[in-house]
Structure 1
Amino acid sequence: MTSVSLPSTRLGELAASSLRIILASQQPSGAFPASLTFSAYRGYCWFRDGSFIADAASAAGEEEAASRFFDWCARILDDRRGQVQVIVAAAAAGASAPDEKMLATRFTFDGREGDDDWWDFQLDGYGTWAWALAEHCRRSGIDASRWSSALELTCDYLVSSWRRPCFDWWEEHSEEVHVSTLGCVVAGLDALSELGVLDDTRRTAAARAAAEARVLIYERGVQGGHLVKWLDSGDSDASLAALISPLGVLDPASDLTGATLDTIAIDLEVDGGVHRFRADTFYGGGQWPLLSCFLGLAELARGNRGRAQTLLEWAASTAGPAGELPEQVDRHLLAPDRHQEWVDRWGPVASPLLWSSAMYLRLALELGVVAPIERTGR
């Protein structure tokens, strides 16, 4: 792999600017915008993206910013208590709610569903917010009971619905059960079962569902010794690296982890830049800095520090003059003939994308390129 080899001072400066961009973009409501400028994302916060952004802010020591985001998530869930109860009751009766009645994946900054068509039914964000909140409480010492009612609703929602097909991280293939989605659900249910805010019945249900989802991953989400994109498929997807780190669903030392990382590298990585999946045509199928950082976190968890550093350096090389990190770059397009149609539809690629800034910051912190601010303690 060709190394970009940027000076360590530049890597640290970019981590600092990434944090500044994240904090400056946070809304008064606590929401983290996906992108303040990109046409299709403007005005919205995703539970998934926002949870990874909040996790990075928390890891950097910005406890208040992270807590404000979790407050925003909790308000949305508490406001939809009746909707969750209907979904859970329908599942218990064996008549699942239709996809359009499930919780949305993105909301306006003031907590409303969008009024435009979107690929909205995605379960991963609800697992991710529970996982990220648990990590935040572990780091900061904050009592999770502050969010207990929303966490109970999250438990009920995930336990009742985790087996359902839904859109994946990339808002595609709603007919499939995606392994990265299952990983987010497992991480969230594990966190919920251990947080100490659930009653015995819910805690037992969360632990049981997490165990069953793990079994499903191993039985039908593994082909050729590595994780695959969705159940019973043969394709890889770079989002699978997140199950190793930061989500911690897979043992970093396992053969499955090694084979999964090797497959991602062979199928989806070129010189440190990582594609989403081989059939990607979105903006021509470019390379995503946030995926290089997810892969770097997984490699670091496995003990491959030099490789993680190289992946961080590649991500840093995509930054703009103000330290903004894009959603993807077009250095190695998989489908160059499909690039212009997306530019015509939505304009230039999203930049900055806060999720990219967050994952860069997260990997930089893990590598010690920067240190978190001093914690006040509680």
Structure 2
Amino acid sequence: MVVTKESLIAKSIQLIRQNQSKTGAYLASPGFANYRYAWLRDGAFTAYAMNRVSQHESARRFYQWCDGVIQKHAGKAHHAIAYVRQHEGEVHWNDLFLHTRYTVEGDEVAGEWGSFQLDGYGTWLWGLAEHVRMSGEREWIQAFAPSIELTLDYLAACWRLPNFDCWEEAGDKLHPATLAALYAGIKAMEPHVPQRADECASLAAEIRQFVREKGVLGNRFVKSLGNPAVDASSLWIGLPFGLVCIDDPLLAGTVAQIERELLTGNGVHRYAADTYYGGGQWPLLTAWLGWYYVQVGRRKEAEELLVWIATKDQPAGLPEQVQEHLLAPEDYHRWLESEGPPAVPLLWSHAMFLVLADELGFV
């Protein structure tokens, strides 16, 4: 069966809707045990994609779920804020902080995980502002005001603390892509919380300056402070989080390094030392690079990436990664034996396909 962009657009919307819980949470991947949960980060990007294809009701339900999660764990958030303020500097206690993944009912998931991740808390604020912009439903800002303000307090207290990156790794470091998510969320709330506008502007500017001073090597952004490698998630720093402009030389230098090290054919790897399932190519990152290409006028290349993604669709949907070119092939079978086949479908992959398709004007 030949997959067309039109059929995959329709399938992506359908899959996302089918895997949205009645609570509003999006299951990251219904067919992969560790991903049968909901992430604020993945979910916010999925809601953003649904807003872009005019599925505003779906996105709204997700943000209602986010609000419920923040309120359910408000006591823990307040405790973490107080603890960090009393113990200035690094805090090595993963479970002190809000988790990154939850059940669809908004409960924490038992077991060891890279739980302390801040990017999702910045991303849900950014995504909520995007929902308001695209849907016109401004009333939700006021309805979610306690959760918004608590999230801002939490990010203000914790942003300098090492935490796990978006790949749930390197919990002992600070990551420019994560900091960009915090910047975007705080900046996005500036016009919506006038009583804290100056505070938001000041904190966002501080984070931006920190990334530009500490998160750069030569003409590009680094994977993490202390790790000079390039990571495809660094695309987020410019798009959509806007810590730098799309034509900033640092972003251009980062993309050039991604193209040299992480782009194989038309598929994008996460980072050169990746061993997870052998370090395959990720459709969602390929879509991100295509998104950047559209923004800088490289439309033909963006269309080629969209077609490549469509060719990777399986009966169950788009996978998390494909194994056509592995960076660490010797590690693939180790993961296969311990965790089973790679996740498919991954809703985040479908979401980013929709973003790129809409960016190209196909939706």
Q: When the two structures are superposed, what TM-score results if normalisation uses the length of structure 1?
A: 0.92
Q: Which residue of 1 aligns with 2:59?
A: 66
Does 92-101 or 80-89 show the bigger shift?
A: 92-101
Is 1:32 the equivalent of 2:26? Answer: yes
Q: Which residue of 2 aligns with 1:54?
A: 47
SS in 2 for 1:299: helix
Q: Which residue of 1 aligns with 2:228?
A: 234
Q: Which residue of 1 aligns with 2:103?
A: 108
- Of 174, 180, 194, which residue of structure 1 is paired with 2:171? 174
Contact 2:173 2:226 (8 Å CA) reproduced? no
RMSD: 1.6
| CA distance, structure 2, for counterparts of residue 232 and residue 336 of structure 1 | 27
| CA distance, structure 1, for counterparts of residue 237 and residue 293 of structure 2 | 12
Contact 2:53 2:358 (8 Å CA) reproduced? yes
Is 1:252 the equivalent of 2:246? Answer: yes
Is 1:190 the equivalent of 2:184? Answer: no
Q: Which residue of 1 aligns with 2:5?
A: 11
Contact 1:217 1:231 (8 Å CA) reproduced? no
Contact 1:128 1:184 (8 Å CA) reproduced? yes
CA deviation vs aligned residue, 1:33-56 (integer Å, no higher than 9, x gap): 0001112212x1011111100110
Is 1:155 the equivalent of 2:163? Answer: no
| CA distance, structure 2, for counterparts of residue 307 and residue 231 of structure 1 | 31
- Of 268, 273, 280, which residue of structure 1 is paired with 2:274? 280
Q: CA deviation at 1:95?
A: 4.3
- Of 159, 162, 165, which residue of structure 1 is paired with 2:162? 165
Amino acid in structure 2 at the alignment position of 1:177: L
| CA distance, structure 1, for counterparts of residue 225 and residue 331 of structure 2 | 28
| CA distance, structure 2, for counterparts of residue 296 and residue 90 of structure 1 | 42
CA deviation vs aligned residue, 1:186-227 (integer Å, no higher than 9, x gap): 111111112x2x252x33222222111111111111112011
Q: Which residue of 2 aligns with 1:303?
A: 297
SS in 1 for 2:236: helix
What does residue range 95-134 of structure 1 map to in structure 2 within 5 Å?
95=88, 98-134=93-129
Q: CA deviation at 1:246?
A: 2.2
Q: CA deviation at 1:92?
A: 2.5
| CA distance, structure 1, for counterparts of residue 119 and residue 185 of structure 2 | 9
| CA distance, structure 2, for counterparts of residue 298 and residue 157 of structure 1 | 31
| CA distance, structure 1, for counterparts of residue 299 and residue 160 of structure 2 | 36
Q: CA deviation at 1:233?
A: 2.9
SS in 2 for 1:20: helix
Amino acid in structure 2 at the alignment position of 1:127: G
Contact 2:125 2:148 (8 Å CA) reproduced? yes
Q: CA deviation at 1:260?
A: 1.2
SS in 1 for 2:4: helix
Q: CA deviation at 1:99?
A: 2.5
State the structure with bigger RCO (CA 8 A, min sep 6), 1 or 2.
Answer: 1
- Of 351, 354, 357, which residue of structure 2 is paired with 1:361? 354
Structure 1 unmatched ranges of 5 or more: 1-6, 371-378
Q: Which residue of 2 aligns with 1:316?
A: 310
Is 1:146 the equivalent of 2:143? Answer: yes
Amino acid in structure 1 at the alignment position of 2:21: Q
Amino acid in structure 2 at the alignment position of 1:68: R
Does 341-350 or 84-93 show the bigger shift?
A: 84-93
| CA distance, structure 2, for counterparts of residue 286 and residue 192 of structure 1 | 36
Q: Which residue of 1 aligns with 2:325?
A: 332
Does 209-218 or 326-335 show the bigger shift?
A: 209-218
Is 1:214 the equivalent of 2:208? Answer: yes
CA shift in 2, pair 1:19/1:39, >3 Å: same
| Count of residue correspondences | 359
| CA distance, structure 1, for counterparts of residue 63 and residue 17 of structure 2 | 15
Contact 1:327 1:350 (8 Å CA) reproduced? yes
